[in-house]
Chains A and B, each alone.
Chain A
């Protein structure tokens, strides 16, 4: 089946081949042309009874879920980062760094009600190939309840082959900023609609974790993990993706393509934003949903420090760059900020790179916000970052070499 948005975006991306890989400044003309779609923002205080009607209203503001998902297979990339047995103090993962299980249930319910043929919930469980339902149980979630939120719901850990027989290759239109292509679990191919369901939170390396950064977790550590053999995937992953992506100290296992420019900076502040843009270009997001009801500030997970917070807000949109730009603003940050400025203290601004790659606009002046105005939904994350991570040493990007 045809992806509802993917086709035209792919055509557009194909047309921008010539500019990819150039300096940011040379991308500016294309940035002006980047898409700007409506983004919905809503206040939502709890994961209780108001959640479903709030989300329902937001999806209506985006044109309705039905036109997007009816009769289609919908893949939903969840944001369940880090091992399932780690919490931010006593705070359950769903109230800190993971998308809340009721949020997942609510989205599944609405997708189902809108006529989705099948909903496949996906995540690459950290350093693990265990089935996703087992991963959820280990965190104390009732996976059966989540699956029961719709008529045909499947779970898959996309860190590995899973139920697939191969790792399909996703080419990055234009050749890619860091890698020319990525090999992913079959579920990212075998779907008609791709949803990124993520958390509103900071990210130590990328500045913010939103719908685009969530897609970094689609990349299987059986191929891109630290300890994979060079010549083949290792179906028993044992690590994260630091060596290949953050540090650039090794290339992925065969048959994945090596990176475009092995001489490029090995700094994670340079590399991670580019992977984010690559992966969102290679596997475009059709619907971005950001859970900011309960969250954490200062980092993307308890391992980075941080503290719990209660922004009480939801953000959704059909363009992931637009959505993340609005969500960034809801967090009290400027999506137009340059590298080295909040929240991109230690990295390039992936929104800027994405805009340059033609994935969408980050210009709030061009993005229509439906529902609650940003200024009313705003919850300031800057204090968490400043208190947890006082910056020392030369600022980014001077230190990236």
Chain B
């Protein structure tokens, strides 16, 4: 199974999916028709010519309907294999995994996917799980069941047009921080995210799918593409809007296949976040990463157990998140970092060293000049991740910013550079606005010599204007629809 190259699409069809749909209040007869139609091999024409190379079908849920379902899928599976498509069977509920594996093998499936931890010798099983790293078996594959639909919440109470976060800006969901964390802690070769479109009373806009794909791929993961029921009905009816949305999905998937080199780029990080990211520290450390990403901070994940060996070069600040202090060696390394010119942000109780700053405006911290750097010791435990993320960034200071994005409106960014430092990419994720988008400007501290902007609907990059803006350089982009990648090079 070459998971690395697979592009998976959830392919809901067959009796099990119909039974599952019936348990949903909003399930319609037309949806049932689509589920029956997608059981027919002719439906596979939809994926012809697209990057989709793997179908994920329901396989067993431990009910009496499993056998009938698997029988009903036989023609489809044969046709799919004939087209070179890999088939993954999803096993859920109380299904016996060994039995499911046996039937899957007989039916020619390439692998099973499940949230079960039961062992299945001799057959590939893609293990999905809830978020958390309490147990970290080395694995080539990690599947995330807690992933969220990226962007602004589409399912809102009547009368609301956005959910606001603590900053007053619309709240944005993203899985980027978790993908980065998973890569840092578990190092999976392949990371799949399982999330479904939000249930709303109309088809999702095409742009929402572009966002979902970009938010996953840019950070080095893959979305098990999942179409909303309205879109599936629209595709069966060959409606123009649905076909356009599907074409956009295909273009987005193809775009990231063409730019796979970016996946090897290293996220730019200037604020180190030290935690064990587990147990009692999980909530705060997870949310701090989430919110640092949300506010555009460039962070580097430093797992506590590995931080002693990890280089701190390139960091302007380190925030130690966990309540319990680390081992002595790491404590000494952190103080040395501050003494050498960095900013160290700690919970309360850490030794206060250096000369107190009189003009410390952050009331939650005692701030000290220490050597060539600074030490900020919290007066009390900070349990609000928003405050911790915001104030860690301010203690580090925007003076040290390495990238600034102007006129992005509500958006997220991910900046990564090649291993040799000669190239970089700024992924820009923008979210819907009722207003005309203005042209964007991106400032980099690194004086990149040139840049070009990539958008998913074009195979050609567009050059962008460059102006010197000491100490750095600015690039002026045209209005960006939803996503773009600004590729820079020296």
Question: Which A residues fall within an 8 A CB radius of B?
Answer: 85-90, 127, 130-131, 133-134, 137-138, 140, 143-144, 162-163, 227, 236-239, 302
Assess whether B405 is interfacial by the CB under 8 Å rule.
yes
Q: Is the CB of B476 within 8 A of A90?
A: yes
Q: How far is the CA of A314 from the CA of B119 in the complex (A)?
A: 78
Residues of chain B in range 441-459 having any CB-CB distance to chain A below 8 Å = 441, 443
Chain B count of residues within 8 A CB distance of the other chain: 25
Q: Is the CB of A140 within 8 A of B394?
A: no
Chain A residues in 8 Å Cβ range of B469: 140
9 contacts between A and B (CB under 8 A): A89-B439, A90-B439, A137-B397, A137-B398, A138-B401, A163-B361, A237-B168, A238-B164, A238-B166
Q: How far is the CA of A131 from the CA of B399 in the complex (A)?
A: 12
Q: Is the CB of B361 within 8 A of A140?
A: no
Q: How far is the CA of A89 from the CA of B441 in the complex (A)?
A: 8
18 additional A-B residue pairs with CB within 8 Å, beyond A90-B474, A140-B443, A140-B469: A85-B408, A86-B406, A86-B407, A87-B407, A88-B438, A89-B407, A89-B439, A90-B476, A127-B167, A131-B394, A138-B398, A140-B404, A143-B399, A163-B359, A236-B166, A237-B168, A238-B168, A302-B407
Residues 400-416 of chain B: 1 if any A CB is under 8 Å from the residue's CB, otherwise 0?
Answer: 01001111100000000
Chain A residues in 8 Å Cβ range of B476: 90
Q: How far is the CA of A144 from the CA of B166 in the complex (A)?
A: 29
**Which of A85, A127, A130, A140 interacts with B407 by CB under 8 Å?**
A85
Q: How far is the CA of A89 from the CA of B401 in the complex (A)?
A: 21
Question: Which B residues fall within an 8 A CB radius of A?
Answer: 164, 166-168, 359, 361, 394, 397-399, 401, 404-408, 438-439, 441, 443, 465, 467, 469, 474, 476
Q: Is the CB of B439 within 8 A of A134?
A: no
Q: How far is the CA of A48 from the CA of B455 in the complex (A)?
A: 39
Q: Is the CB of B167 within 8 A of A238?
A: yes
Q: Is the CB of A227 within 8 A of B168?
A: yes
Q: How far is the CA of A90 from the CA of B464 in the complex (A)?
A: 12
Q: Is the CB of A134 within 8 A of B407?
A: no
Chain A nearest Cβ from B471, distance in angstroms: 9
Q: How far is the CA of A238 from the CA of B467 in the complex (A)?
A: 33
Q: Is the CB of B407 within 8 A of A138?
A: no
Chain A nearest Cβ from B343, distance in angstroms: 13
Chain B residues in 8 Å Cβ range of A227: 168
Q: Is the CB of B441 within 8 A of A90?
A: yes
Q: How far is the CA of A137 from the CA of B445 in the complex (A)?
A: 12
Chain B nearest Cβ from A236, distance in angstroms: 7
Q: How far is the CA of A238 from the CA of B405 in the complex (A)?
A: 21
**Which of B361, B441, B467 interacts with A131 by CB under 8 Å?**
B361
- Given A140-B443, A162-B361, A302-B438, check contact A87 B397 (CB 8 Å): no
Q: Is the CB of B405 within 8 A of A85?
A: yes
Chain A residues in 8 Å Cβ range of B406: 85-87
Chain A residues in 8 Å Cβ range of B443: 140
Chain B nearest Cβ from A353, distance in angstroms: 31
Q: How far is the CA of A10 from the CA of B361 in the complex (A)?
A: 33
Q: How far is the CA of A137 from the CA of B469 in the complex (A)?
A: 13
Chain B nearest Cβ from A78, distance in angstroms: 17
Q: How far is the CA of A187 from the CA of B443 in the complex (A)?
A: 33
Chain B residues in 8 Å Cβ range of A86: 406-407
Chain B residues in 8 Å Cβ range of A134: 394, 397-399
Q: Is the CB of A144 within 8 A of B399?
A: yes
Chain A residues in 8 Å Cβ range of B394: 130-131, 134
Q: How far is the CA of A175 from the CA of B404 in the complex (A)?
A: 45
For the complex of A and B, 9 pairs with smallest distance between CB atoms: A238-B168, A137-B398, A90-B476, A87-B406, A137-B399, A138-B398, A134-B398, A90-B441, A85-B406
Chain A nearest Cβ from B473, distance in angstroms: 12
Closest to A236 in B: B166
Chain B nearest Cβ from A200, distance in angstroms: 22
Chain B nearest Cβ from A298, distance in angstroms: 14
Q: Is the CB of A137 within 8 A of B401?
A: yes
Q: How far is the CA of A133 from the CA of B399 in the complex (A)?
A: 9
Closest to B167 in A: A238
Chain A nearest Cβ from B177, distance in angstroms: 21
Q: Is the CB of A87 within 8 A of B441?
A: yes
Chain A residues in 8 Å Cβ range of B405: 85
Closest to B386 in A: A236
Chain B residues in 8 Å Cβ range of A236: 166
Chain A residues in 8 Å Cβ range of B164: 238
Chain B residues in 8 Å Cβ range of A140: 404, 443, 469
Chain B residues in 8 Å Cβ range of A127: 167-168
Chain B residues in 8 Å Cβ range of A133: 399
Q: How far is the CA of A138 from the CA of B397 in the complex (A)?
A: 9
Closest to A303 in B: B435
Chain B residues in 8 Å Cβ range of A87: 406-407, 438, 441
